[in-house]
Every structure is written in structure tokens, then in C-alpha cells.
């Protein structure tokens, strides 16, 4: 494949800023993967891994000013947003260091022999080991938290897996900068540079997923791109796990009682959520089921006022801008679709926020309005006005899998009176995170977090945010009747490492 130049581009003007690198050749991808494979041993010691992750957070924080400036020049997301995202990224690295120290992720289980059981139980000792080299495909909309030093990389390194990152073309200079910082952190612990590889280019991404030494992959991006890589991962001579986050509509149901109780607050909250980050969040609410009648009218007035006051913004690149402008125009032309606030081009390089309305009955059956059930990346949402609960259920029954689903309830409904519990049951099969009286934008990095959902939201049942994200890069192995002298320290009776484990059926902490 040709080694084309890789340019940093200013999304505010669409102009090239500087040449950052060249697209990786097949030979360069191979070299990066092999270097990562050779670096596996440097991550074998859990103490070293944890220290590396903490050093990575320290080095990123120390380079904050330069990193934020570089990120803003390539993404136009603004210093405030980017500073917060970098802080989240550093917190995530430290959180995984704590998980590595604790060791519970190893899931150690030891059973001594029991000849009285039926059938007899031999000596069995089980824990989890790293898969090997992980390919990480960076996201466009989170240049820190879902990119070179993001959650996929942090969790893979925590699991003991070296990483090769395919840089996103929207922020190549930042990708190089972050990789340099992480390698500096690695050097503090005598970990070779190869533990974190970085390649640029579309063809390089294809070569990466096909490489026989790549053991798993993590992806955040479009349905089209993610599905192509997912299929390639499955079509390999030796298929590998592919953990992809592809797309999500993130439906919201507003009950009539909730709209009657607090229409202004719901309208303002929806506007803030759908326009946050110029609508470039994977958990942006893209479809809202709101009641017809006076309560729904009041909600729409509040939404109209709030969205009308939202300034035009810059999307991450001009391709996304063109797709947004074309997408909202195509949707607005459908029968019975209105635009109380028209979304679209806000200027030569910007877009204006807006929303569309449609009778929910148009979405209850298959037809041309199915386009409204597809994600439109940018500051727009679709408000479907329903007449009764039957229409709500009919629309929900047609939705694909999502990252989130939200219900706005009245005080009485939230207290267990009315349809609140029933709506939660309707929404649970649709999403990995179900919210009550909140908004989905904002994914907390916490042990109980789950950021995933039924296809096409994600291609697996795993999460890409939170402590359990580490599980994606591990596999269990059992040693049977192995002499203690041959066992890894994690599986010996003495438990010199002080690991939480299940020992002969009893949980030890």
C-alpha cells in the first residue's frame, strides 16, 4: 500500500496545518505488531503494570497544556472540554492501576481434590491470563478518553496486553504526542517502546485486524466501519474477539404525567443533552417519545426556546459536517416531519442545532420513516409525538440495540405508581444503561458502569468504560493436578500475593 502523507487539519477552516506522519505500510504494521508481541514479558509483573499506568497518568498531566492545545487545534472541542477529558483519562489510568493492585480481576479459584464427590474432583486451579497483542481503533469524538491513551488501551495494558493503536485521522498530531508521552512513562519502568505501537491510515487498520499476532481488538466508531472490521476479525483463519461500539439512537420516553409536571425542565434538559459537544456524543438522545396534547406542546416550546439559543458549532471534520447537513435535510423532507428549529448548516464551517417532529404512528410500522430510527451524528434529535401507550410500545418494539435508554417519569410514577416499572421493563432489553429522570450524556468512570448494549450499539456484551472493561482482554485457564512447584504464584495455596480468591468454595478477601 502507498505511504500517503498524514496531515493535521483545522476543522474550523478545513485547511491542512502540518504533515504529521505517513500512512503505515504493511511492513510497518507488521513491525509494530511484532514489537508489541515481543514486549509482552515486560508487562508480566502486576506491580510494574500498575506503576506504569500511574506514571502514564503523571506524564499526561504534566504535558497537559501542550496536549490540550494540540487537541483543540485538531478537533475544535475547546480547552474546557478537552481539559476535563484529559483529567478523566488520567483518572481512568489510575483506576486501572488500582484494579491491577487488587488482583480480583484474575478470578482465582482453587479446588483441592475431593474423592467423595460424584464424580470425583481432581486438583483444579483457575485464573485468567492476558490474550496477547490488542489492536485499538481510536474514536474521533473523544481524542483523549477513547483514543491512544483511552479506555481500551488502559484496560488492555492493565490486563497485561501490549497495544497497537490505529490513530484516528481527525487528530493524528495529538495521537503522536500522546504515544510519545506514554512511551516516556514506559521507559521509567524499563518497558520497551514496542508496548504501545501507533499506525496511521485506512489500509493500516485493515492490515492490523488481519495480523496473526493480534489477539483481540477494540473499536469505537461508525456502524459501517465497525461492522467491516468485525467481519474481518471473524473471517481470519483464527478468529479473534472484536469489541466494537458502533452506533446508538439512545431513545427517551417522556410520560404524559412527567410532561405535565415539569415540561420546562425536561425540554431544557433535553436541549442541553442533545447539543452537548455539538451533538457528537455516542450517548446523545436521538429519539424522544413525547405525548401529544397540551403537556407535550409545553415540552416542545421549552425545547424550541433552549435549542434556538444554542450557538452554531464546529463538527470534528468536514466529512461529518457534510453528512450531518445531508442527513437532516433528507429526514426533514419525509411526509409529516416538521422542523420547529431547523438543523443544518450554520455557516461555511459550522452547523446549527435543531430538532424534528413526527407522529409516532409513522414509526410504528416499517416504511420510509425508518430513516428516523438511524443515528444522525450531530446536534439533532427526533421527537415522535404519541397518542397512547400502545404507540409507545409499538415504536420501542422496532428499535435496534442501544447504549442507553431513558424514561422521564412523574413523582408518583417514580414512586411506583402508574407505568414506571412497566416502562423500565420495556426499555431494559434495548440498552446497556437505563436511566430514570436523567440524561444519557456523560458516562461516569466507575466500577458499576456499563457502556455497551445489544447490537449495533456494541458487538459484544462487554463494557468499554469502568473496571470490568479489563475482562475483554483476558481468558481463563485451569491447571489440573499440577505440582505446586510448577504453578504460578497466583495459584499456590500460600497466597503470598494476598489475592482475593475462592479457596475450596470459600471466598477469601
pLDDT tens digits, 10-31:
999 999 999 999 999 999 999 9
Residue 375, in any domain of the structure: yes
Q: What is the pLDDT of residues 418-477, one digit of tens each?
A: 889 999 999 999 999 999 999 999 999 999 999 999 999 999 999 999 999 999 999 999
All three cell numbers of 200, joined, read 496511521
Residue 150, in any domain of the structure: yes
Q: Is the pLDDT of residue 278 over 60?
A: yes
Q: Which of 325, 333, 395, 329 is nearest to 359 (CA)?
A: 395
Q: Is the pLDDT of residue 110 over 90?
A: yes
> What is the span of the domain harbouring residue 30?
22-100+130-246+461-473
Looking at the structure of the chain, the number of domains it has is 2
| 199 and 69 assigned to the same domain | yes
pLDDT at 3: 76
Q: Which of 53, 83, 48, 46 is nearest to 68 (CA)?
A: 83
Residue 488, in any domain of the structure: no
Element housing 1 (H / E):
none
Q: Is the pLDDT of residue 161 over 90?
A: yes
| 265 and 232 assigned to the same domain | no
pLDDT at 299: 98
| 235 and 305 assigned to the same domain | no
Share of the chain above pLDDT 90, in %: 98
Q: Label residues 122-145 b or e (16+ Cβ within 10 Å = b).
A: ebbbbbbebbbbbbbbbbbbbbbb
Q: Which of 363, 399, 365 is nearest to 384 (CA)?
A: 363
CATH number at residue 400: 3.40.309.10
Instruction: Tell me how many degrees the CA angle 249-330-276 measures, rounded to the nearest 5.
Output: 40
Q: What is the pLDDT of residues 367-420, one digit of tens each?
A: 999 999 999 999 999 999 999 999 999 999 999 999 999 999 999 999 998 889
pLDDT at 509: 84
Q: What is the pLDDT of residues 189-203, one digit of tens each?
A: 999 999 999 999 999
| 281 and 365 assigned to the same domain | yes
Residue 118, in any domain of the structure: no
Question: Looking at 85, 176, 245, 256, which residue is catalytic?
Answer: 245
Q: Is the pLDDT of residue 2 over 70?
A: no
Residue 85 is a catalytic residue:
no
| 421 and 469 assigned to the same domain | no
Residue 245 is a catalytic residue:
yes
Q: Is the pLDDT of residue 223 over 50?
A: yes
Phi, psi of 501, rounded to the nearest 5 degrees: -160, 165
pLDDT at 1: 47
Q: Which of 173, 190, 193 is nearest to 182 (CA)?
A: 193
| 119 prior amide bond cis, ω within 30 | yes
| 272 and 357 assigned to the same domain | yes
Residue 181, in any domain of the structure: yes
pLDDT at 418: 87
Tell me the C-alpha distance between 219 and 151, whole Å. Answer: 11
Average of per-residue pLDDT across 258-267 = 98
All three cell numbers of 185, joined, read 512513562
All three cell numbers of 63, joined, read 504535558
Instruction: Tell me how many degrees the CA angle 150-273-321 measures, rounded to the nearest 5.
Output: 70
Q: Which of 310, 306, 398, 381 is nearest to 350 (CA)?
A: 310
| 154 and 42 assigned to the same domain | yes
Tell me the C-alpha distance between 106 and 470, whole Å. Answer: 10
Q: What is the largest CA-CA distance in the chain?
A: 78
CATH number at residue 50: 3.40.605.10
| pLDDT band with cut points at 50, 70 and 90 for residue 486 | very high
pLDDT at 390: 96
All three cell numbers of 324, joined, read 450531518
Question: Looking at 282, 375, 391, 413, which residue is catalytic?
Answer: 282
| 264 and 183 assigned to the same domain | no
| 408 and 469 assigned to the same domain | no
Average of per-residue pLDDT across 86-110 = 98
**Whether the Cβ atoms of residue 385 and residue 291 lie closer than 8 Å to each other:** yes
What is the average pLDDT score of the chain? 97
Q: What is the pLDDT of residues 307-356, one digit of tens each?
A: 999 999 999 999 999 999 999 999 999 999 999 999 999 989 999 999 99
All three cell numbers of 143, joined, read 481524542
| 200 and 273 assigned to the same domain | no
| 456 prior amide bond cis, ω within 30 | yes
| 226 and 88 assigned to the same domain | yes
Cα 17 off chain centre by? 28
Residue 5, in any domain of the structure: no
Average of per-residue pLDDT across 85-112 = 98
Tell me the C-alpha distance between 476 and 127, whole Å. Answer: 6
| 309 and 264 assigned to the same domain | yes
The whole model's pTM is what? Answer: 0.96
Q: What is the pLDDT of residues 42-55, one digit of tens each?
A: 999 999 999 999 99
Residue 112, in any domain of the structure: no
Residue 441, in any domain of the structure: no
Amino acid at each position: 500500500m502507498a505511504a500517503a502523507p498524514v496531515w493535521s487539519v483545522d476543522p474550523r477552516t478545513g485547511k491542512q496545518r502540518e504533515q504529521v506522519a505517513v500512512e503505515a505500510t504493511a511492513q510497518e504494521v507488521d513491525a509494530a505488531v511484532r514489537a508489541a508481541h515481543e514486549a509482552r514479558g515486560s508487562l508480566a509483573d502486576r506491580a510494574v503494570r500498575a506503576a506504569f499506568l500511574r506514571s502514564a497518568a503523571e506524564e499526561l498531566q504534566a504535558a497537559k497544556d501542550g496536549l490540550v492545545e494540540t487537541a483543540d487545534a485538531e478537533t475544535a472541542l475547546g480547552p474546557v472540554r478537552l481539559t476535563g477529558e484529559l483529567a478523566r483519562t488520567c483518572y481512568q489510568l489510575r483506576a486501572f492501576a488500582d484494579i491491577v493492585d487488587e488482583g480480583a480481576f484474575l478470578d482465582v479459584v482453587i479446588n483441592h481434590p475431593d474423592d467423595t464427590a460424584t464424580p470425583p474432583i481432581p486438583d483444579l486451579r483457575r485464573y485468567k491470563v492476558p490474550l496477547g497483542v490488542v489492536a485499538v481503533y481510536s474514536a474521533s469524538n473523544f481524542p483523549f478518553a477513547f483514543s491512544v491513551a483511552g479506555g481500551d488501551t488502559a484496560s488492555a495494558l492493565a490486563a497485561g496486553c501490549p497495544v497497537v493503536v490505529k490513530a484516528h485521522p481527525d487528530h493524528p498530531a495529538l495521537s503522536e504526542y500522546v504515544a510519545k508521552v506514554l512511551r516516556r512513562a514506559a521507559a521509567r519502568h524499563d518497558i520497551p517502546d514496542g508496548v504501545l505501537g501507533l499506525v496511521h491510515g485506512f489500509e493500516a487498520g485493515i492490515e492490523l485486524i488481519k495480523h496473526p499476532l493480534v489477539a483481540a481488538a477494540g473499536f469505537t466508531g461508525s456502524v459501517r466501519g465497525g461492522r467491516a472490521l468485525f467481519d474481518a476479525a471473524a473471517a481470519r483463519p483464527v478468529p479473534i474477539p472484536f469489541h466494537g461500539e458502533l452506533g446508538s439512537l439512545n431513545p427517551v420516553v417522556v410520560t404524559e404525567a412527567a410532561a405535565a409536571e415539569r415540561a420546562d425542565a425536561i425540554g431544557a434538559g433535553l436541549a442541553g443533552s442533545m447539543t452537548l459537544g455539538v451533538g457528537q456524543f455516542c450517548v446523545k438522545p436521538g429519539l424522544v417519545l413525547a405525548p401529544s396534547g397540551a403537556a407535550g406542546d409545553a415540552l416542545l416550546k421549552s425545547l424550541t426556546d433552549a435549542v434556538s439559543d444554542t450557538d452554531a458549532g464546529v463538527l470534528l471534520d468536514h466529512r461529518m459536517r457534510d453528512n450531518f447537513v445531508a442527513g437532516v435535510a433528507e429526514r426533514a423532507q419525509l411526509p409529516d416531519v416538521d422542523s420547529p428549529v431547523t438543523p443544518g448548516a450554520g455557516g461555511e464551517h459550522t452547523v446549527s442545532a435543531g430538532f424534528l417532529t413526527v407522529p409516532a404512528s409513522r414509526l410504528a410500522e416499517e416504511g420510509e420513516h425508518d430513516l428516523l430510527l438511524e443515528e444522525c451524528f450531530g446536534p439533532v434529535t427526533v421527537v415522535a409525538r404519541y397518542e397512547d401507550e400502545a404507540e409507545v410500545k409499538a415504536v420501542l418494539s422496532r428499535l435496534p440495540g442501544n447504549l442507553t435508554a431513558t424514561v422521564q417519569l412523574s413523582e408518583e410514577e417514580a414512586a411506583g405508581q402508574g407505568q414506571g416499572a412497566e416502562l423500565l421493563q420495556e426499555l431494559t432489553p434495548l440498552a446497556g444503561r437505563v436511566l430514570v429522570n436523567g440524561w444519557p450524556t456523560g458516562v461516569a468512570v466507575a466500577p458499576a458502569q456499563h457502556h455497551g448494549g445489544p447490537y449495533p450499539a456494541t458487538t459484544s456484551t462487554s463494557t468499554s468504560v469502568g473496571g470490568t472493561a479489563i475482562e475483554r482482554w483476558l481468558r481463563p485457564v485451569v491447571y489440573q493436578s499440577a505440582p505446586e512447584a510448577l504453578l504460578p504464584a497466583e495459584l499456590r495455596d500460600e497466597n503470598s500475593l494476598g489475592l482475593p480468591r475462592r479457596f475450596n468454595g470459600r471466598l477469601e478477601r
